[in-house]
Structure 1
Amino acid sequence: MKPRHLLPGLSILNFQNCGEFRHIQKWQSRSFYALLLAVLLMPNSAIAIDITKQMHRPLSVSRDERTYRDYADSLLRIGREQLAAGFAAKTVESGQEALDIYRILGDVNSQGLTYDLLAGAYLQLGNLKDAEDALRRRVGIARDNKDFEAQIFALNNLGTLLLQKGEAKAAGQTIQDALAIARNLENIEGQGLSLSNLGLVYTRLGNYNQAIKVCETALIFRRQTNDVIGEANTLNNLGDAYLAAGDYDNTIGAYGAAMRLAKVHFDRGNQLRAIDGLVIAHSAVKRYERAIELLDQRLAIAQFLNNPVEELKYFASAGQMYEKIGKYTQARNLYQQALTLTRKLDDKKQEAFVLDRLTNLPNK
């Protein structure tokens, strides 16, 4: 099984977008962010739980090695289904049990795949410490096995995680290591991924011209492999660089291209990310009506996905937009809906933010 890139949609806001746990991503592709970003169909939650109960029966000591291996492989498969369905805690249980068996069997390659899975689950849970540990172990296994292709994608995963932690220089060095391997192997996919992630690093470091340059080069490699989701992700990275540089025309062009590609290919994570960037850019040049239209598209996607976290982002952002243009009644209504969602989600940080906006909203 090929290695995966866990963070293909990583933006400067979440692990991709993670935050945003993402929805039906190209999980089997090595261009993931990822978190993440899965071709596995999201299973019915009741079915996923029932399967988990069946698979977590005690092992019989009479089972031979083949049976143990089949059982561990089943746990790994179920873990991926659980992660796609949003059951990250269950994924950790399945992954840890599979890992124990692979260790007993001495199956190092499968241990590496399991660490990929565990990293994704820990990221979905917001546990960056254990996610980093899993990714470093994944890198170590790839190096021990002299699996250079696996190293490319494992190092990119680790680099994007370090970037999310705010360690931009360490992230840049890690991704540069991946790029060097990809170039030595003449691996087109690996070069596109590494350059795209370096664009994020340079943006974070404030080197916007370099960020734009490497993202444009990354697009060439992405298009050579027909990696449409990877191309949309790189376009979003390019949009981030232009936005940080204050070049709003090119910002809108890059995010607009990303949004169109993502929409056609049902890549909701990149579509939402592009919309968020476009809202900021249009607002900056006072195109408020267009920004509000885009926010309405964001709400439609969030409701289609039945994702309250993404709905919350809409209500909070739309409230700020209406507040900015002086429509305080609409802003107050949106903030109230956002407040209801923060309490439903038990999101104390966002609850405090929304309460602050409501408190300071003019009574007009």
Structure 2
Amino acid sequence: MLWFDHPKQWKYTLLASAVALSCWGMPLSLTSQASDLNRQLAIPLNNGTLNTQRREADRLMRLGGQQRRQGAFTKAIDSWEEALSIYRNLRDVEAQGVVYEFLGGTYADLGRYVNAEDAMRRRLAIARDLGDYQGQIFGANNLGTVLLQRNQPQAADELFGEALEIAQSIKHAGGTGLSYSNLGLAAYALSKPVEAVRYYNQATTYRRQAKDVLGEANTQNNLGDAYRAMGEYRQAAGAYQMALLLSRQSIDRPSQIRATEGLGFAYEGLGLSTVAVDYLERRLKLAREDNNSAEVLEALQTLAAYFRRNGDFTNTENYYQQAIAVALAIGDKQTQKVVQRQLEDLRLREAVKQQAAERRR
């Protein structure tokens, strides 16, 4: 089951049912974007007479969960598509909704947002047909997050508003907090940071009521981003500090990394360069501890960009060279070329500056 809270940070907390137990513990993925709540849907996938077809469909669902956990996204999709076909033949609409939810999140992880949108629209339609209010809350939030990824913030905003209305009507604190947080994301994407801050503060209240520590960490990170966009660096630092504390409590590494980097940017905005560099280097250390080459590469680029903004040629060149080495090691040719061009541009500009200085002597 997925409930996204940040477009770049997709995370998984799947159904606590007979089928979903096989998927429990799926690895956190980027992007983010992220599940917040452990929700149980009372969907008896084995309702009625257990026959060969149903057992096969349930087996395929479990298999897909195992494959997804192992990072074999495409194989997981194939397994779930087979299961979906069987559930259609059995006319089990509830089970189809579960499959569409899994498919939507996995397509999103693969960056196949057209497919993700289609699956999530089908999931939401099923929830509406069944009068499943919780399904509608989270389905609308999921679909809205994909629309944000597709640069459709206005459409996403409408879906988040719909989800909020339903969540409030059934007094669902978790769904209300998630919907407010996503409304903040939509407002931020629409260049309305003041409105985003208001939504995030409302989200925090409900997420605390729901004891949703991971969700509150995501909201606090979002709040930090909004304050930073407004130039309110002290408030941003406070929000990121809270996100860091919560992410440690929830043992959520992506949120911790994001908060650590955010603190680096916030303290840079406050003119506290030593503290800023310390946090940006901590972010690099976390990535190395996780043996996450992609995160290491991104952290090195962030440090290089920081030192370049602040006129430190030596450190900028050093971090560019490290980034190139990592990109080469993991076969990321595109990033390698980009960083190589940045390094060459840096050296050219530095050479021009030195020549100009020599002419003035």
Q: Same fold (TM over 0.5)?
A: yes
Paired residues of 1:199 and 1:210 also in contact (CA < 8 A): yes
Instruction: Write the distance in 2 (CA, Å) between the matches of 1:250 and 1:134.
Output: 39
Map 1:1-364 → 2, pairs under 5 A: 4-8=1-5, 10-11=6-7, 14=8, 16=9, 26-28=13-15, 39-40=24-25, 66-362=51-347, 363=350
Give the counterpart letter for 1:210 in structure 2: E
Instruction: Write the distance in 1 (CA, Å) between the matches of 2:117 and 2:103.
Output: 10
Instruction: Write the distance in 2 (CA, Å) between the matches of 1:292 and 1:350.
Output: 23
Judge which range, 281-290 or 159-168, deviates more. 281-290
Instruction: Write the distance in 2 (CA, Å) between the matches of 1:39 and 1:267.
Output: 16
Structure 1 residues 224-260: Cα deviation after superposition (integer angstroms, max 9, x where no partner): 1111001111111211211111111111100110011
Identity of aligned residues (%): 39
Instruction: Write the distance in 2 (CA, Å) between the matches of 1:84 and 1:285.
Output: 42
Q: Which sections of structure 1, spanning at least 5 residues, go unmatched?
A: 30-37, 43-63
- Post-superposition offset of 1:275: 2.0
Paired residues of 1:5 and 1:156 also in contact (CA < 8 A): no
Give the counterpart letter for 1:190 in structure 2: G
- Post-superposition offset of 1:81: 3.2
Off by >6 Å, runs of 4+ in structure 1: none
Give the counterpart letter for 2:196 in structure 1: A
The structure-2 alpha-carbon separation of the partners of 1:39 and 1:245, relative to structure 1 and needing over 3 Å to count, comes to farther
Give the counterpart letter for 2:171 in structure 1: E
Structure 1 residues 283-337: Cα deviation after superposition (integer angstroms, max 9, x where no partner): 2223222222222222232223322211111111111223333332332232122
Instruction: Write the distance in 2 (CA, Å) between the matches of 1:255 and 1:355.
Output: 32
The one of the two structures with greater contact order (alpha-carbon pairs below 8 A, sep at least 6) is 1
Structure 1 residues 160-195: Cα deviation after superposition (integer angstroms, max 9, x where no partner): 111121111100001111111111112111111100
Judge which range, 135-144 or 90-99, deviates more. 90-99
The structure-2 alpha-carbon separation of the partners of 1:129 and 1:336, relative to structure 1 and needing over 3 Å to count, comes to same
Instruction: Write the distance in 1 (CA, Å) between the matches of 2:337 and 2:151.
Output: 24
Q: Which sections of structure 2, spanning at least 5 residues, go unmatched?
A: 17-22, 28-48, 352-361
SS in structure 1 at match of 2:86 = helix
Give the counterpart letter for 2:2 in structure 1: H
The structure-2 alpha-carbon separation of the partners of 1:127 and 1:103, relative to structure 1 and needing over 3 Å to count, comes to same
- Post-superposition offset of 1:354: 0.9
Instruction: Write the distance in 1 (CA, Å) between the matches of 2:74 and 2:160.
Output: 29
The structure-2 alpha-carbon separation of the partners of 1:28 and 1:104, relative to structure 1 and needing over 3 Å to count, comes to closer
CA RMSD of aligned residues (A): 2.3
Paired residues of 2:105 and 2:116 also in contact (CA < 8 A): yes
Instruction: Write the distance in 1 (CA, Å) between the matches of 2:70 and 2:62.
Output: 13
Q: TM-score, normalised by structure 2?
A: 0.83
Paired residues of 2:2 and 2:13 also in contact (CA < 8 A): no
Q: TM-score, normalised by structure 1?
A: 0.82
